Structure 1
């Protein structure tokens, strides 16, 4: 691949290699130059940043806005979400981002997350019990997905009866059918109705859950702090973001981690013998094969340079977490799975003020999922040839379509 940073927006690079073989493609791009012109998922040009130092600096650069109001007119087209689902932390800059995140952290406590450890293990064991009799399973659909959705729904206090509907709506948004665009529109409408009704029910009858706490943060501002609370749209959108992002990212991180271990049977055996090393292993999985290869798009609020390349104000900037985490200038032999390497500074959970709010919960879930799975099935193996596995073809999502396993 050639560096197209100097050839202008009319000559974006071919996206096919980034979708079919991303890590090899990113290596070629890093060698060719630090910043490249691409065509984004919305069909509009974007700037892709590939090298570790540039990505890390940009993640914390206040000149790069997440607020779509700073985008060039007609230069960005993302999900057409209603305000009640779009007013979340992924679209905010300070001071709104600072205000909302501070309020959410009050409800998203370490104690609440830690209290989910035992229930998560119970759910994992129940799922494994159901799988054990068959001798084989599709690990995403039978284990990683159900575990992830159960834990995040327990956190928010979403009743069991509503969970299958949520899975269907999420799939419609995550992997839309281009031949039936109405399905995504229907899913968005159904999700908005669902969250509005759920919040009303929690208001009427609060529970010991995160959503009830967020509603209290919204409704019970202290005197003089009325302007420092969540709006109703922010409350609804936060519930949507926590559930949607928490389910998808964790499910695919579990799948990616299991595949990495099946590709490295020596390390699989070591972790089966020493499960106490799983927390460190999860940090390497986050670096090695992250479910979010590209950070949420950003828009320069002024003309600026990244890696020596001038980027005009308002144009879309994509920061490649996947490429940065495989940059040999920061991580020697980056394509090797190495739990013993220096993992400080990896960008698997982001960096700066937009560092993943649910990082602690995601780590807890993945450690719990792997500990239960590896302990139950010491002879875990792929049930299909390695070449038959397929990932979703998406720039911003890295997850297996399926992972058939046997034991």
Structure 2
């Protein structure tokens, strides 16, 4: 039966973002009210929140739910300012045109060719970690520099500039950690930096992705100069920001869940499955982002979503759906099926998913091989967590080995 009644909206998100615990309210909603009304901290409109795996997939893949339509609304959101999301703000055919432009660089074969160099970088960082000695911050000395170096080499961005663009990239994942003025300043600085790098690669091409993008733009004129610079800036920021957060998150979970790290040390062949399971298990997104708008009346999870109404999804809740994942709150490296949605779904599925998977696999493979005695060097209660961000993560992870 389809419900047309509009129930009162709950305040959303449901809990603070420190730690990686998923609020039990999601399980209650999946059981009794899988599509519910919520009010986010900012924006002038309420939204429907989808919490079940099936409904989340539908919202993310059905063309009746439009991301581009949000441009005409004061959309419900986690931050005071509208999200600056590049291609994530687009629908086909514009989204298809821009996504196709960079898709060739992120094929499974292309990313796999980067694995040996990524492993070299990871080993070099562990060498540095061992020379420094314990205790050490795994975020600063491993979690941050590894994906940053990989994306720099892939794009052709000087790693020596990482201190600058790491600061600017926070604008992409900030909810309240930065003011609107700071976000505008940082995004402007990132765009200016990338425009200068594009000009340098146009004058002196190299064997990197930015040079290839410049060549394709100049020879085939498939996108404007602004679109080229915006895409390149987005690749630099998004190409490392979430992986920087997930590497220490994964290690934290492995070191705090019973024998999880030891299991990978004893059998490193489990690492690829462990990465998929950790993508499912870790509630990375702090709430939700990027509302979609119904372009016509749609029945979703037993309720009628009317044309023009906003829908948001919880990937973290979908990844704990009992209907899809038996014992969803247990970390299980031997799941027969794991259709996790950690990288999204549908046309906005993360095009860097293969790169992130490879980096996360290499990171864990290197750590369990080189540091089998890895352990936390501080009580869990004393760990610092990122605040005011769209993603959850430890700000520092003191470890010993």
Instruction: Name the stretch that deviates more: 344-353 or 277-286.
Output: 344-353
Give the alignment's TM-score, normalised by structure 1.
Answer: 0.87
Residue in structure 2 matched with residue 15 of structure 1 by the alignment? 13
Alignment partner, residue 73 of structure 2: 73
Q: 1:23 touches 1:323 (CA, 8 Å); kept in 2?
A: no
Question: Given the two structures, how large is their TM-score scaled by the length of structure 2?
Answer: 0.89
> Equivalents in 2 of 1:70, 1:264: separation in Å?
40
Q: Secondary structure, in 3 states, of the residue corresponding to 2:144?
A: helix
Q: 1:112 is matched with which residue?
A: 110
Q: Is the CA contact 1:18–1:25 (under 8 Å) kept in the aligned structure 2?
A: no
Q: Which moved more, 1:347-356 or 1:102-111?
A: 102-111
Corresponding residue of 1:165: 164
Paired position in structure 2 for 1:142? 141
SS at match of 1:347: coil
Of 226, 231, 242, 1:233 maps to: 226
Residue 55 of structure 2: aligned partner = 54
Residue 385 (1) aligns with residue 379 (2): yes
Note the 1:20-99 alignment, pairs <5 A. 21-44=21-44, 45-67=46-68, 69-75=69-75, 88-99=86-97
Counterpart residue number, 2:315: 321
Question: Any conservation in 2 of the 1:298–1:316 contact (CA below 8 Å)?
Answer: yes
1:300 lines up with 2:287 in the alignment: no
8 Å Cα contact 1:284/1:343 also seen in 2: no
Q: Call closer, same or farther: CA 1:81–1:394 in 2, change over 3 Å.
A: closer
Go from structure 1 to structure 2 and tell me whether the alpha carbon gap of 1:323 and 1:18 turns closer, same or farther (over 3 Å shift): farther
Q: Please state how far the C-alpha of 1:214 moved relative to its aligned partner.
A: 1.5
RMSD: 2.7
Q: In structure 2, what is the equivalent of residue 124 of structure 1?
A: 122
The Cα of 1:303 is off from its aligned counterpart by: 3.1
Matched, 1:332 2:326: yes
Query: Which runs of no fewer than 5 residues in structure 1 stay unpaired?
Result: none
Give 3-state SS (helix, strand or coil) of 2:212's partner: helix
Name the SS of the counterpart of 1:163 in structure 2.
helix
Is 1:188 matched with 2:187?
yes
Partner of 1:216: 215
- Are the equivalent residues in 1 in contact too, given 2:80–2:176 (CA < 8 A)? no
2:395 — aligned with what? 401
- Inter-CA distance 380–237: structure 2 relative to 1 (3 Å threshold): same
* Gaps in structure 2 of 5+ consecutive residues: none
Q: Find the partner of 2:256 among 263, 271, 274.
A: 263
Distance (whole Å) between structure 1 residues aligned to residue 227 and residue 29 of structure 2:
38
Residue 217 of structure 2 is aligned to residue 252 of structure 1: no
Residues 104 and 12 of structure 1, relative CA distance in 2, 3 Å threshold: same
3-state DSSP of counterpart to 2:312: strand
Aligned partners of 1:47, 1:153: CA distance in 2, in Å? 39
Distance in 2 (alpha carbons) for counterparts of 1:284 and 1:178: 29
Q: Give 1:18 shift.
A: 6.0
The change in CA–CA distance for 1:101 and 1:179 in structure 2 (over 3 A counts) is: closer
Deviation at 1:172, TM superposition (A): 4.8
Post-superposition Cα deviations, 1:63-105, rounded to whole Å, max 9, x if no partner, equal 11121x44553345768689xx75x321111111222222222
1:148–1:247 contact (8 Å) kept in structure 2: yes
Partners of 1:312 and 1:334 lie apart in 2 by 32
Is the 1:279–1:367 contact (alpha carbons within 8 Å) kept by the matching residues of 2?
yes
Is the Cα–Cα contact under 8 Å of residues 71 and 314 in structure 1 kept in the other structure? no
SS at match of 2:280: helix
Matching residue of 2:276 = 283
State the distance in 2 between where 1:199 and 1:26 align: 45
Q: Distance in 2 between matches of 1:349 and 1:265?
A: 26
d(CA) in 1 for partners of 2:54, 2:6: 23
The alpha-carbon deviation at position 141 of structure 1 amounts to 2.0
Q: Return closer, same or farther for 1:80/1:12 CA change in 2, 3 Å cut-off.
A: closer
Deviation at 1:19? Answer: 3.8
Counterpart CA distance in 2 for 1:397 and 1:315 is 25
Structure 1 residue 121: deviation in Å? 1.6
Change (3 A) 1:110 1:249: same
- Which residue in the other structure is 1:366 paired with? 360
